[in-house]
Amino acid sequence: MSRIVHFFDNPERFVVGTVGMPGDRTFFIQARHGSRIISVALEKEQVALLAERIDELLDQVTATEGINTSFLGPADLEPMDNPIAEEFRVGTLSLGWNSSSKQVVIEAHAVTESPLEVPDLEQDSEEGPDVVRVRILGVYARAFVSRAFAVIGAGRPPCPLCEEPLDPRGHICVRANGYRRRG
């Protein structure tokens, strides 16, 4: 089966969001351009790592290329666009900087049996996992990072003793010898 590349060059919207209650949330990355919307599911840890790496990449680009990537406005905190239909679950994320277009390139590849199947960044080979490729300017990437950190922080509060998320039904804390604390 041939690979599907969902490409968005400067989409109108590129955000991270969730569906569900804290403790039982599904994380999504969503891109929209006009009436074309795509949503892919991923893990909270993948969102956190992607946001951190984008932030680091933009700091490096600012330092080496002198391009101002600072974001001055508030993050996009509106709900994700409907419909939220999972196109695929993300297995591998790729990140880079396109010097010619002065854009951040983010690729979310579908889960595969082998990470070796993932092509290089911005490679349109016939084989490999389906991918969502987004190219955005640095200021929009900073907005994505800001929203990602806000979405991650909106989950369950951490236990003051062990830092694990508190469950509304109670929490078995390893630092309290298994005593069940009520959140």
pLDDT above 60: residue 183: no
Q: How many structural domains compose the chain?
A: 1
Q: Residue 1 has which token pair?
A: 């089966």
CB 115: neighbour CB atoms within 10 A? Answer: 11
Q: What is the domain extent for residue 121?
A: 5-157
What distance lies between CA 15 and its chain's CA centroid?
Answer: 8
Over residues 164-177, the pLDDT tens digits come to 777 777 777 777 76
pTM of the predicted structure, to 2 decimals: 0.83
Q: Which of 40-44, 56-60, 167-171, 179-183 has the lowest mean pLDDT?
A: 179-183
Look up tokens 């998320």; give the residue.
Answer: 165
Q: What is the band of 1 on the pLDDT scale with cuts at 50, 70, 90?
A: low
Whole-angstrom distance, CA of residue 181 vs CA of residue 171: 5
Beta pairing, strands 5-9 & 131-136: parallel
Does residue 176 form part of some domain? no
pLDDT above 80: residue 116: no
Does residue 126 form part of some domain? yes
Q: What is the CATH number of the domain that holds 73?
A: 3.30.2450
Does residue 24 form part of some domain? yes
Does residue 179 form part of some domain? no
Beta pairing, strands 171-172 & 180-181: antiparallel
